[in-house]
Structure 1
């Protein structure tokens, strides 16, 4: 494993430990989703934003420059978080650190899962992972970073 990947893995693991909510309601999903859309609009980013709790989609917005294919990526990234309990970015990084491509692993259904950045677990203190916040449309590290930035702002607010 290279030092760069190890450092990035440690950074994402730290984000997942830190970004824990006290609760996550429908209203929280609306506020976080709206915050993400506002960040993207202010920067002119062509992204689709999605928030779930359990199996329920609570927020979804597709900004100009996106396509239906972004929804396919979102579904695959969300399924990765649900299955592994970690961000889709971390799943891909850990595979890469082991010299593998996430989607090429024999136990991975690449049509259903994606080890690409953008889906981040919504974790509630004392409960665990309850949902996802997902961004699709940018390079994977940028999708991940935008989701993390929005969660950090949401928690600070």
Structure 2
């Protein structure tokens, strides 16, 4: 593994450890989703945003320029995050470091899962993962960045 890959893996693991919620309910989903949407609107990002507990959608927003494809990406990204309780960016980096693609060879069905960045677990202190927040429409790194920067802001300003 290269130094760059090791550094990126450490950064993504730090996000998982740092971005933990004190609690999370439907109102939090609305506030967090609205914060992400506001940031995306301000940056003119053509994204779809989704917060879900498995098959229960708690927040959904589709901004101008997003396509029907984003629905499939969100479904597959969030399925990966909820199954492994890790961000899709971290999963992608972990599997790449092992030179292994779990969507090949029959382990994970590629029509149901993806490792494209942009989905992040909503982890509640003392409880564990209760939901996934997902953005789709930008590059994997930019989708991930949009989500984690909003979560960081939310945790320091709203959820205190």
- TM interval, short-chain normalised: over 0.9
The equivalent of 1:34 in structure 2 is 34
Residue aligned with 2:153, SS? helix
Name the CA distance, whole Å, in 2 between partners of 1:19 and 1:146: 14
Preserved CA contact (<8 Å) 1:122 1:129: yes
Deviations 1:33-90 (A, max 9, x none): 0000000010111110001134311000000111111010000000001111101111
- Which segments of structure 1 move beyond 2 Å, counting only runs of 4 or more? 100-106
The equivalent of 2:47 in structure 1 is 47
**How far off is 1:102 after superposition?**
4.2
Question: What is the TM-score of this pair, normalised by structure 1?
Answer: 0.96
The equivalent of 1:65 in structure 2 is 65
In the alignment, structure 1 residue 108 sits paired with structure 2 residue 116: no
Deviations 1:97-123 (A, max 9, x none): 112334325412111000110000000
Question: What is the TM-score of this pair, normalised by structure 2?
Answer: 0.94
The equivalent of 1:12 in structure 2 is 12
Unaligned 5+ segments in structure 1 are: none
Name the CA distance, whole Å, in 2 between partners of 1:105 and 1:82: 21
Name the CA distance, whole Å, in 2 between partners of 1:16 and 1:144: 12
In the alignment, structure 1 residue 80 sits paired with structure 2 residue 75: no
**How far off is 1:128 after superposition?**
0.2
Preserved CA contact (<8 Å) 1:77 1:113: yes
Residue aligned with 2:51, SS? strand
User: What value does the CA root-mean-square deviation take over the aligned residues?
Assistant: 1.1
The equivalent of 1:93 in structure 2 is 93
Unaligned 5+ segments in structure 2 are: none
The equivalent of 2:129 in structure 1 is 129
Preserved CA contact (<8 Å) 1:50 1:59: yes
